[in-house]
Amino acid sequence: MEFLDFILNIFSSGLPCCLLALGIFLTYRLLDFADLTAEGSFLIGVSICGVMIFNGVNPWLATLVSVLGGAICGIITGVLNRLLNIPKLLSGIITMTATGSISMIIMGLQSGNSDIFAAQVSFTNLVTKGSPQQTIYSLFYPWEQVGDFYIVPNPWGDVIKIAVMLGVVILAMLIIYFFFGTKYGMAIRATGMNENMAKAQGINTTIATIVCIAISNALIALAGALVVQESKTASTISATGYLVIGLASIIVGETIFGKRSFKNWLISVSLGSIIYFTIVNIATRLGLRTELKSLLYAVLITIALCLPLIKSGIKHLIDKIKSKKVKEAI
Amino acid sequence: MLELKNVTKKFNLTGALDDERIALDNISLAISPGEFVTIIGGNGSGKSTTLNIISGSLKPDSGIITLNGRDITKLKEYQRAAYFGRVFQDPMKGTAGDMSVLENLEIAYNRGRRHSPIKWGFSEKHKEYFINELKRFDLGLEDRLSQKVGVMSGGQRQALTLLMATMRNNPTYQMMRRDYILFSGLKEEDARKEFDQEFSSKKAILDEHIRTIKLDSSISKNDKKEMIRNAKDEFDRQIREKFDLTKQILLLDEHTAALDPKTAKKVLELTNKVVRENKMTTLMVTHNMKDALTYGDRLIMFHLGHIILDVKGKEKEKLSVEDLLKMFDEADKKAENE
Q: For the ranges A160-164, A287-291, B96-100, which has the lowest average pLDDT?
A: A287-291
- Please state, in angstroms and rounded to a whole number, the distance separating the CA atoms of residues A212 and A191: 10
| Per-residue model confidence (pLDDT) at position A124 | 46
B59: in domain: yes
pLDDT for the residue A184: 93
Is 50 exceeded by the pLDDT of residue A93?
A: yes
Return the SS3 of A162: helix
Q: Which residue of B has its CA nearest to A259?
A: B98
Note whether residue B269 is domain-resident.
Answer: yes
Q: Do B59 and B120 belong together in one domain? A: no
Three-state secondary-structure class, residue B53: helix
Chosen domain end from B194, B225, B243: B243
Residues of B in contact with A189 (CB under 8 A): 96, 99, 103
Nearest CB partner across the interface for A197, out of B82, B84, B94: B94
Q: Is residue B150 part of a domain?
A: yes
Say if residue B233 is in the same domain as residue B303.
no
pTM: 0.83
Instruction: Assess whether B65 and B141 both reside in one domain.
Output: no
By C-alpha distance, the chain A residue nearest B166 is A201
| Residue to test with chain A: of B115, B126, B179, most A Cβ within 10 A | B115
Which residues in chain B touch residue A193, judged by CB atoms under 8 angstroms apart? Answer: 96-99
**Residues B64 and B30 occupy one common structural domain:** yes
Q: Report how far residue B176's alpha carbon sits from residue B242's, in angstroms, rounded to the nearest whole number.
A: 10
Neighbours of A3 (CB within 10 A): 7
**pLDDT for A172:** 95
> Which CATH number is B74's domain given?
3.40.50.300
- Alpha helix locations (H) across A201-330? 205-231, 242-257, 262-285, 293-329
Cα angle, residue B42 at apex, residues B39 and B44 outer, rounded to 5°: 100
Q: Tell me, what's the pLDDT at A190?
A: 93
Taking only the tens place, the pLDDT of each residue in B144-193 is 888 889 888 888 899 999 988 888 666 678 777 877 777 666 778 888 88
Domain shared by B146 and B227, yes or no: no
Strands B84-87 and B249-253: parallel
Higher pLDDT, A194 or A328: A194
- The answer to whether B57 contacts A185, with C-beta atoms less than 8 Å apart, is no
Of A102-106, B70-74, B183-187, B296-300, where does mean pLDDT reach its minimum?
B183-187
In this structure, the number of other CB atoms found within 10 A of the CB of residue A134 comes to: 24
Same domain, B288 and B224: no
- pLDDT-above-70 percentage for chain A: 90
With a cut of 0.85, is the ipTM above it? no
Alpha helices by DSSP H, chain B:
47-55, 77-80, 101-109, 124-137, 154-166, 173-183, 188-215, 221-243, 261-278, 289-294, 313-318, 321-337
Judge if B87 and B19 occupy the same domain. yes
A97 touches B at CB < 8 Å: no
Within 10 A of B319 (CB to CB), how many other CB atoms are there? Answer: 16
User: A 284-313 residues with CB below 8 A of B?
Assistant: none
Helix (H, G, I), strand (E, B) or coil at A143: coil
Taking the Cβ of residue B103 and every Cβ of chain A, the question of whether any pair is shorter than 8 Å is answered with yes
The residue among B166, B190, B215 that closes a domain is: B166
- The arithmetic mean of pLDDT across residues B81-93, rounded, is 88
Query: Which member of A181, A205, A261 has the closest CB to residue B78?
Result: A205
Decide if B335 is inside a domain. no
Domain assignment of residue B233, given as a range: 173-243
CA distance B35 to B56: 21
The answer on B49 and B15 residing in a single domain is yes
Cα-Cα-Cα-Cα torsion A192, A195, A198, A200, nearest 10 degrees, comes to 180
Residues of chain B contacting residue A194, judged by C-beta atoms under 8 Å apart: 92-93, 95-97
Q: Mean pLDDT of all residues in chain B?
A: 85
Question: Are B94 and B111 contacting, i.e. CB atoms less than 8 angstroms apart?
Answer: no
Please give the tally of structural domains in chain A: 1
Does residue B126 fall inside a structural domain?
Answer: yes
Q: What total number of domains does chain B contain?
A: 3
Strand pairing class (A149-151; A144-146): antiparallel
Nearest by CB to B95, which of A184, A197, A204? A197
Position B27 in a domain: yes
Q: Is residue B96 part of a domain?
A: no
Q: What is the share, in percent, of chain A residues with pLDDT greater than 90? A: 40
More confident residue, A81 or B183: A81
pLDDT at A128: 54
- Model confidence over A108-166: pLDDT tens digits? 755 544 343 344 455 544 445 556 677 888 788 777 777 666 777 777 778 888 999 99
Residue at a domain's end among B187, B213, B243 = B243
Half-sphere exposure of B321 (CA within 13 A, CB side): 7
Q: Is B180 left (phi over 0), alpha (psi -120 to 50) or beta?
A: alpha
Asked if the structure places residue A329 within a domain, the reply is no
Is B113 in the A-facing interface, judged by CB distances under 8 Å? yes
Residue of B nearest to A181 (CA): B121
Q: Which domain holds residue A19?
A: 2-243
